């Protein structure tokens, strides 16, 4: 079996979804040496995956697609994908972001249905979402990162009857690491001098991530006791000024932390604040659990699947309640909690997820070959 993964998402961002794909491919290639893996690298310099043949491929000119609503480059790109699939004899095409082939079986990863859930924020008539719709309907099967995402897929799209499997995201082994290389001059040593909270992946103040409430609650806690606030994410510095009315942004730690620094901070934090209104999975919860850190989140979407009875839940519209949760965690002895959290994180492992993905892909390939044989021999 030959599997081709289109690395289009890596052209757009290097967020949690990119990490998920790298981890999946690393484990899948190791577990299934009989499968030939290929990866379309869209002019990214640092893509190297052991066991995967990297195919250089042009960037998709997204500005032409999304700014002037011209979808011709998208269809031209698809024709180039089809040629690669034909030339290499690809059996399964997997896209990291809604591209598809018309000449082989398409398996699409479904991470979430955010724009569908929030039509007041996202216009589904915009090109990027039209392309999502097209990618979903041109796919033959789906891998969903949570049961909630699977439910939403079949709720918003008429794809009933098409094969789907739930294969939960897993946490990188790096988050379990306690042997961390932290330079003596790192800013993290200053941060941990006081109790502190982490707000992962800071985004726009009006986002469904609901981080405005997290910063409001943190400001309330600061009126009661000393508290440092840490915001992470590649766009955190860009968005932080949007919160100037609810927090003194000059006192918020916002930096491009190394992975070791990030794990170190999670490990020492009083709480990780993730009061999102909706998630397809909620990877920061599992990453926090892997370090033993408490998580405050909201009981909605996939967050209860991931958080179980270990997460601390709060009303998504009540910053006072959230502030009280933070204050309680600052005072709590977290040693017993940490041990349980780490064990829960181990349930979200790549060995289990890879087995689900591999079994699903092999079954699809077998059924496709059988169908082709049946048609070729006049049975159907």
Identify the pLDDT of residue 197: 98
Do 258 and 287 belong together in one domain? yes
Do 114 and 242 belong together in one domain? no
CB 163 within 8 A of CB 142: yes
Do 104 and 220 belong together in one domain? no
Identify the pLDDT of residue 17: 85
- When pLDDT is averaged across residues 210-229 and rounded to a whole number, the result is 97
pLDDT at 215 over 90: yes
pLDDT at 186 over 90: yes
- When pLDDT is averaged across residues 303-307 and rounded to a whole number, the result is 97
Do 47 and 64 belong together in one domain? yes
CATH number at residue 214: 3.40.50.2000
Do 195 and 287 belong together in one domain? yes
SS3 assignment for 241-290:
HHHCCCCCHHHEEECCCCHHHHHHHHHHCCEEEECCCCCCCCHHHHHHHH
Q: State both tokens at 119.
A: 């039509």
Do 153 and 30 belong together in one domain? yes
Do 225 and 122 belong together in one domain? no
Identify the pLDDT of residue 94: 97
Q: Which domain holds residue 290?
A: 173-346
> Which range (66-75, 157-166, 225-234) has the least confidence?
66-75
pLDDT tens per residue, range 13-68: 877 788 899 999 999 999 999 999 999 999 888 788 999 999 999 998 877 666 65
Do 334 and 359 belong together in one domain? no
Reported confidence tier of residue 380, pLDDT bands at 50, 70, 90: very low
Tell me the C-alpha distance between 40 and 52, whole Å. Answer: 10
In the chain, % of residues over pLDDT 70: 95
Do 187 and 136 belong together in one domain? no
What is the count of structural domains for the chain?
2
Q: State both tokens at 238.
A: 């860009």
Tell me the C-alpha distance between 170 and 178, whole Å. Answer: 19
- Is the pTM higher than 0.95? The answer reads no
pLDDT tens per residue, range 259-278: 999 999 999 999 999 999 99
Tell me the C-alpha distance between 333 and 355, whole Å. Answer: 37
Q: CB-based contacts of 294: which residues, under 8 Å, 6+ apart? A: 269, 270, 271, 272, 288, 312, 329, 332, 334, 337, 341
Do 212 and 328 belong together in one domain? yes
pLDDT at 373 over 60: no
More reliable by pLDDT, 294 or 64: 294
Do 235 and 297 belong together in one domain? yes
Do 78 and 130 belong together in one domain? yes
Identify the pLDDT of residue 66: 64
């Amino acid at each position: 079996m030959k599997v081709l993964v289109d690395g289009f998402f890596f052209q757009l961002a290097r967020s949690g979804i990119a990490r998920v794909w790298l981890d999946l491919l690393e484990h899948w290639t190791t577990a299934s040496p009989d499968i030939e893996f290929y990866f379309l690298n869209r002019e990214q310099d640092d893509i190297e995956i052991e066991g995967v043949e990297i195919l250089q491929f042009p960037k998709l000119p997204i500005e032409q697609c999304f700014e002037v609503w011209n979808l011709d480059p998208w269809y031209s790109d698809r024709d180039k994908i089809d040629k690669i699939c034909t030339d290499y004899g690809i059996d399964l095409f997997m896209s990291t972001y809604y591209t598809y082939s018309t000449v082989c079986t398409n398996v699409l990863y479904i991470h979430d249905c955010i724009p569908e859930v929030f039509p007041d924020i996202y216009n589904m008539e915009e090109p990027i979402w039209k392309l999502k719709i097209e990618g979903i309907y041109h796919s033959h099967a789906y891998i969903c990162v949570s049961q909630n995402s699977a439910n939403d897929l079949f709720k918003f799209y008429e794809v009933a009857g098409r094969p789907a499997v739930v294969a939960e995201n897993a946490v990188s082994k790096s988050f379990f690491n306690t042997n961390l290389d932290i330079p003596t001059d790192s800013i993290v040593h200053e941060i941990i001098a006081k109790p502190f909270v982490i707000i992962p992946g800071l985004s726009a103040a009006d986002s469904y991530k609901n981080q405005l409430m997290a910063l409001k609650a943190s400001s309330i806690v600061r009126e009661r006791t000393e508290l440092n606030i840490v915001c992470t994410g590649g766009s955190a510095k860009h968005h932080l000024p949007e919160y100037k009315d609810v927090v003194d942004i000059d006192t918020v730690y916002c930096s491009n932390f190394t992975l070791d620094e990030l794990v170190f901070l999670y490990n020492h934090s009083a709480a990780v604040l993730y009061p999102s209104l909706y998630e397809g999975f909620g990877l920061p919860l599992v990453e926090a659990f892997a370090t033993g850190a408490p998580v405050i989140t909201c009981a909605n979407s996939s967050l209860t699947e991931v958080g179980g009875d270990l997460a601390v839940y709060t009303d998504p519209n009540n910053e006072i309640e959230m502030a009280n949760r933070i204050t309680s965690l600052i005072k709590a002895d977290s040693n017993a909690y940490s041990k349980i959290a780490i064990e829960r994180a181990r349930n979200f492992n790549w060995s289990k997820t890879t087995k689900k993905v591999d079994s699903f892909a092999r079954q699809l390939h077998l059924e496709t070959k059988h169908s082709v044989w049946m048609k070729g021999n006049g049975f159907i």
